Structure 1
Amino acid sequence: MRIYSNILILTMAILASGCTGRRGMEHTPPPGWVSERPVSSMHYIGIGSAAPNPIPGEALRTAKERAAADLVGEIALRVESTSLLESEEKNGQVQQDFTSTISSRAEERIAGFQVVDVWEGPRGAFVYYRLDKARYAAERNARKQDAIDLALLEYEAGRTDMDKGNLQGALNHWGTAILGLEEFWNEVNRAQIGGEEVSLEPHILRTMRESARNIHLRAAVDAVLLNAEGDFKFPLGLHATHEGVNAMGLPLQYRYHNGTYLKQATEFTDEEGTVVANIQGVAPKRPDVNLNCTLDLERLFKAAGLNSVLIELLGDIHVNSISLPIEVEMPTVQIRPAPNSQLGVEAHSSTITVLRSVLLDAGFKILDNGAYSDFSLTVELRSETRRPSGELGNFHTAYVEGGLVLRKTGGDIVHQIVLDRVKGVQLDPSTALNLALSNLAESIREKHANNLIRALR
């Protein structure tokens, strides 16, 4: 019983002591810095305050955050006239990224600050921070020198890659160097490169632009020739070099019009600096007869890992390009009745006439002598005539069907077309057959002409 009594007395004493302490705190007058901001030539000052909050510790936490922000705001960033930031003052994205970086590194910038005083009262919570200016300057200079040293290492690594023809790797190193200096873009960051003192970021940016501009492109031939001998396909070699060294890993974009639409593709060069563009399916008549090739900067920057800020800093870069004609040598074709055709030679005339017209309009050449032609097109026809009966009265009905076979000069079959049955109805059986043959010829023009032309190309 005596033990419980002692615990009760101790608890009441603690509660009484707590109440007395809080009443004393509430009546403690605020220090002078709460109402009048301190001024110091030796320190940066940060004052933060927050209104009372029913959540324990919340007002003090907020006051500390505001004191830190106020301290950061005291450290003015002077933008030097020839710094990267000044030269890009009209570029909102660069300015925004720099501001974001400085904000994200605020805690690092004020490391080592002192908590001078903290006061809590009826008016809320108040916090007083300060940072020694000399210490801050020394630490910032040390960070800047470290950033410059690392940037120089990245720059040299980029030069080594460029000597090997690896522009993609070089751009990655140089971009890393510039971003590593981002906290100091408001200053002129000088360093020795090749025995000369340079402003580091502008020098690296110039090196990046010049390296891209100095990529030289050439094609394996002066003109692309598509003909029957090559199956109207051509493997075009495109070669990239930098100062005579094969340029590997470069995205080369090539484009050409195939007669229907503009065809384009981007492929990366191999270790020999080469891309093989497979040219095919090109019509002889098209809006532009040339193939154009250039360095695809968008794909290059993406492959090199450059972010949008670096791309904005690089600006527009004029790179080399090449252009060469694509010539389509239309094949020669012989058109003749097939040896196994059921109908005579004259019966093939309407079909052969339509085929000649279709191929000539597409630019092909028609030869009578198969020995000199690139392709042979044979026409095989079959017919059936029925006498009048039933509702047809005195009319005769003729049916015609068959096929087309396209062969190369050597005899290999390239394409086959089945000609579906068509009919002609007339009083005279010969006239009915001629009508069926005419209808067959028109069905070839309407249904099979495009497929035949594509097969010949």
Structure 2
Amino acid sequence: MKRLLFITFLLAGCSPSINTSLKSNLQNPKPDWLSAKPELSGFYTGVGHSAKMGDNNYIQSAKKSALEDLVSQIKVNVSSTSLLTQIDNNKEFQEKYEQIIQTTAADEIQEFEQAGAWEDELNYWVYYKLSKQRYKEIKDQQKRNAITLGLDFFTKAKEAERNGEPVVSLGFYYQGFRAIEKYLDEPIRLEYQGKEILLTNEIVAGMQLLLDKISLTVDPKELMLNRRLAQNDLSVLARATDKATRKAIADLPLAAAFEKGAGDVFPTYKTDANGQVKILLTKISSRDMEQTVGVKIDMMNFVGQTQDEIYSLVAQKMVVPKAVVLMKVQRPLVYVTSVEKSLGVQKSNQQITNRIKNYLANSGFEFTDDRNKAELWLDVDANSERGAQSGSIFITYVTAVIKVSTARDNKEIYATTLDRIKGFSLDFERSSQEAYNKSLETLNNDKLPELLNAILQ
């Protein structure tokens, strides 16, 4: 009897919470679209979720997730006669194009609607839908507008080309491409001057044909250079002309970059009224004996300040006029003098001098014992001095003066001092060695890159 009363009491004690949970579930039941992915005839659908964590904007996060889910159902179908198929043999371009279109679609999609939302204490879900028919109508209208704009720019590009204005023509070609770049996956057939054309294909082909008519040269094609550019009479002139007429092409955007080796070259240019521009090379940082700088038409200049990932992919497929400057780089000869002492006594191992020489050798410099043959003079003067003694600890300081000058006229290029670098050990000799070791750390971390940069200016 007591056991029966206890069980009855236990059930009575638990029943309020059970009832509360049941009541809560009945009041806020999960919708069907949470149990399974909604499949609604004639609609694209998307479900998004976000956890309620802290003060995060979970509603916006869930909406963004739902929109991405919806957009993922809208596939890009590539036609066999589209531009994508013609320029993309290994499907790599197509995959990148589809990714870009998919990424931008969420920002541009219109007239989707919220079909539901549900939340509990920890989570929030939202359900979007978009009419396939309405989506098609919107996209068709956008496409018609894009084709009209693209054809207008294409017509202007052809007119500029006939007028002998290649740079203007390339700009209009780009604007035409920009207008219809979201439709590279399908052929845009229309009639132009009495014949049927594929507009996107014609725009890209027109740009390529125009590029093929441009000649780009550099003078000189080959240079003998010293790594210290300040010692060179450096003048490289790029020139753009029409292959057929030899007429100079003004305002043509060019780009320059190292193709072999490394250094600093000003990246972008525009040709002057004579179709010429001077290429500015300010530093050679590679130790390679032969290096090259390529100069080519800057196709991305037509984009302006905006980003255009799709056009960038297409531009990479184009054959662009290019000229190459071959630079044969001479390694500077360095003459070295040094005095390194420990507590006033000449050191057998010239640590600081050897570290500098190794660094310069790895950076493409060579050394000579004949000052008359040298271009640079490196001088190192270092010594250690006794400091205080505290019990069994002995303190020593190293001071080193490092100078680099021109060997012929002794004009100072660089000078620095390692000032009282402290070492400590069980006697002065060992603390002196420790101070020299720490001097090498300072040299590596701060002074050597600074020294090299000063020499190469």
Distance 1:217 1:360, change over 3 A: same
Q: Is the 8 A contact 2:399 2:418 kept in 1?
A: yes
* Residues in 2 aligned to 1:333 and 1:289: alpha-carbon distance in whole angstroms: 22
Unaligned runs of 5+ in 2: 1-79, 86-97, 102-135, 179-187
State the Cα distance separating 1:365 from its structure 2 match: 1.0
Q: Which residue of 2 aligns with 1:294?
A: 296
1:159 aligned to 142, 158, 162, which one? 162
RMSD: 5.3
Q: Which residue of 1 aligns with 2:271?
A: 269
SS at match of 1:323: strand
SS at match of 1:291: strand
* Residues in 1 aligned to 2:448 and 2:177: alpha-carbon distance in whole angstroms: 61
AA aligned to 1:273 is G
Asked which structure has the greater CA Rg, the reply is 1
Q: Which residue of 2 aligns with 1:367?
A: 368
Cα shift readout 1:92-128 (whole Å, capped 9, x = no counterpart): 99x99995379669xxxxxxxxxxxxxxxxxxxxxxx
Match status 1:240 vs 2:281: no
Q: Which residue of 2 aligns with 1:334?
A: 335
Q: Which residue of 2 aligns with 1:256?
A: 258
Distance 1:343 1:248, change over 3 A: farther
2:404 aligned to 398, 403, 406, which one? 406
Cα shift readout 1:341-395 (whole Å, capped 9, x = no counterpart): x96765883332332222223321122232321111222335432475x513xx7
Distance 1:401 1:206, change over 3 A: closer
* Residues in 2 aligned to 1:102 and 1:398: alpha-carbon distance in whole angstroms: 80
Identity level (%)? 16
Q: Which residue of 2 aligns with 1:186?
A: 190
State the Cα distance separating 1:401 from its structure 2 match: 0.8
Q: Is the 8 A contact 1:337 1:345 kept in 2?
A: no
1:434-449 residue pairs with structure 2 within 5 A? 436-437=435-436, 439-441=438-440, 443-449=442-448
Q: Which residue of 2 aligns with 1:56?
A: none
* Residues in 1 aligned to 2:288 and 2:391: alpha-carbon distance in whole angstroms: 54
Distance 1:343 1:155, change over 3 A: same
Cα shift readout 1:254-308 (whole Å, capped 9, x = no counterpart): 22168679978232222222233322333334699432232222324x36x9x99
* TM-score, normalised with respect to structure 1: 0.52
State the Cα distance separating 1:238 from its structure 2 match: 1.9
Q: Which residue of 1 aligns with 2:414?
A: 415
Cα shift readout 1:294-344 (whole Å, capped 9, x = no counterpart): 2222324x36x9x999999999542222334343322111221389xx967
* TM-score, normalised with respect to structure 2: 0.52
Q: Which residue of 2 aligns with 1:378?
A: 379
Q: Is the 8 A contact 2:249 2:273 kept in 1?
A: yes
Unaligned runs of 5+ in 1: 1-85, 106-146, 192-197
Q: Is the 8 A contact 2:190 2:197 kept in 1?
A: no
1:141-180 residue pairs with structure 2 within 5 A? 155-160=158-163, 162=164, 166-171=165-170
Q: Which residue of 2 aligns with 1:220?
A: 219
SS at match of 1:449: helix
Distance 1:329 1:87, change over 3 A: same
SS at match of 1:246: coil
Q: Is the 8 A contact 2:344 2:383 kept in 1?
A: yes
SS at match of 1:245: coil
Q: Is the 8 A contact 2:396 2:432 kept in 1?
A: yes
* Residues in 1 aligned to 2:361 and 2:326: alpha-carbon distance in whole angstroms: 23
- Residue-pair matches, total: 310
* Residues in 2 aligned to 1:257 and 1:402: alpha-carbon distance in whole angstroms: 40
Cα shift readout 1:412-450 (whole Å, capped 9, x = no counterpart): 222222203134556775665555445535543454222
Q: Which residue of 2 aligns with 1:209?
A: 208
State the Cα distance separating 1:236 from its structure 2 match: 3.0
Match status 1:100 vs 2:103: no
Distance 1:370 1:314, change over 3 A: closer
AA aligned to 1:411 is N
